[in-house]
Amino acid sequence: MELIKQAQKQKIDFGGYIFINEYAGQALLFDGQIITDSFNVSDMTDPSGKRLFDIEKEAFHTEDGLFMNYEFKPTNSDIPEPKLSYMKGYSDWDWIIGVGIYVSKPDKEIAQLNSNFENESKLKLLKSLLLLFFFASLTYFILRHINKRLLLQISIFKEFLHKAAFNEEKKKLNDLLFQELRDIAVAVNNMTKESHTLNTKIREQDHHIKSIFEAADNIAFIITDIQGEESVITEFSPGAENIFGYHKEEIIGKEVAILHRKQDVKRFPLMQKLLAKGKKGFDGETVLINKKGDEFPALFTLHPLMKNTEIVATIGVAINISQRKKAENALKLLKENLEQKVSDRTTELQKRYDELQEKNDELEKYNTLFVGREFRIKELREKVKELEKIIQTK
């Protein structure tokens, strides 16, 4: 209810508001108002006959939610207007939460912005053309004046850039007469120095990564291309050799499917769809196959290797957890034995308790009889005394 109240307070531009419905159709927040009685929207349609709640249910089962275009009456009008909503499901509470706006107001603002932008663009274009003409004319006359000297300096500077790019060689500034070229040369010299430092760091980092890659003898790193069920192994770490039993030379170029069970290979296309979105293709326990054909339990993670925003390969990381599984099974068996012993002991104690309870019930019965007998003897004694008095009197 606190969440619903907070959602009701949210102010949405263009006359929009948040709405919340249960998956069963009960409205919780509708038209900006909290619903406290029974109000089911499962059969609600817009003027065109579109079943709105059917689309909301579809959004509930869609991971990224859905947008919906439809017509709806604003709170201050009886005439339906075009509306755009975005909806998403929250399975923990079986809620469908959405937010909608009426598109007429933003359409007007967008049209006005487009008009203003068009007018400003024309004015800027005219100014740009005038400035371009002015600088083009000025450049033409300047270039005529310094053409020979500039051509010579350009030739020198071109040679300098070539040496800086391919040999990381710095240029002596005295060879350049123009201050502008000297300023550029200073920047290029600094860039060359930074490039040399960066390349050195990259080579060192690459060496460190390669050392880690080769040193992890109990972790398998396997790089493959992205061909689905026909993906080919392109890199196989020493740890992978140790775990799977293959030598790098004999496994490179073969399909990675030989390391997986057939039922897992069928899931490769689904994994690649996840990888294409930048997500892990798989992360958890699975069963892998070594060179001998023996299956063994493993922790396996499949990551995408990206270049810019494009996936170019995959890297799988695997750890053999056979020993851990054996320990878990032994612990499970020990736990089951302990539970059985506890259960047997509990049954025995319950049986003892029932026997004691039965004896206690018998004692209570005898105690009751004994107490009744004492009271009866007392009454008889009083009767005897009365009889004795009567006899004496007679």
Confidence of residue 243 (pLDDT cuts 50, 70, 90): confident
How much is the average pLDDT of 236-255?
87
Q: Is the pLDDT of residue 60 over 80?
A: yes
**For 56-60, 106-110, 358-362, which range has the lowest pLDDT when averaged over its residues?**
358-362
313, containing H or E segment: strand 310-320
pLDDT of 277: 78
**Rounded distance between C-alpha atoms, residue 140 and residue 238, angstroms:** 65
CB 99 within 8 A of CB 86: yes
- At 388, the amino acid letter reads E
Q: Which of 82-96, 210-224, 307-321, 351-365 ranks highest by mean pLDDT?
A: 82-96
Say which residue, 154 or 132, is predicted with more confidence: 132
Which residues, 6 or more positions from 220, have their beta carbon under 8 angstroms from its beta carbon? 237, 239, 240, 242, 243, 244, 316, 317, 318, 319
- State mean pLDDT over 177-199: 63
Give the CA radius of gyration of the chain: 44
Q: How far apart are CA 343 and CA 337, in angstroms?
A: 10
Return all residues near 310 (Cβ < 8 A) that are at least 6 apart: none
Q: What average pLDDT score do residues 240-246 get?
A: 87
Could you read off the pLDDT of 150-170 as tens digits, one per residue?
666 666 656 666 665 555 555
Least confident of 81-90, 223-232, 280-289, 297-306: 223-232
pLDDT of residue 65: 92
Domains of the chain, earliest start first: 2-102 (3.30.450.20), 128-215 (no CATH), 217-320 (3.30.450.20)
Lowest mean pLDDT: which of 138-152, 197-211, 378-392? 197-211
pLDDT, averaged across the chain = 79
Note the pLDDT of residue 88: 94
- Give the span between the Cα atoms of 160 and 319, in whole angstroms: 52
**What are the DSSP calls for 95-161, one per residue?**
EEEEEEEETHHHHHHHHHHHHHHHHHHHHHHHHHHHHHHHHHHHHHHHHHHHHHHHHHHHHHHHHHH
Note the pLDDT of residue 93: 92
pLDDT score for 226: 77
* pLDDT greater than 60 at residue 378: yes
Q: pLDDT at position 31, please?
A: 80
Question: What is the rounded CA–CA span in Å between residue 326 and residue 332?
Answer: 10
* Residue 22: pLDDT over 90: yes
pLDDT at residue 170, as a whole number: 55
User: Quick one: average pLDDT of 289-315?
Assistant: 84
Q: What is the DSSP letter of 231?
A: -
Contact predicate 90/83, CB 8 Å? no
Residues 1-18: tens digit of each pLDDT: 899 888 888 877 777 888
pLDDT beyond 70 at 223: yes
Q: What is the pLDDT of residue 86?
A: 93
Query: Is the pLDDT reported for residue 224 higher than 60?
Result: yes
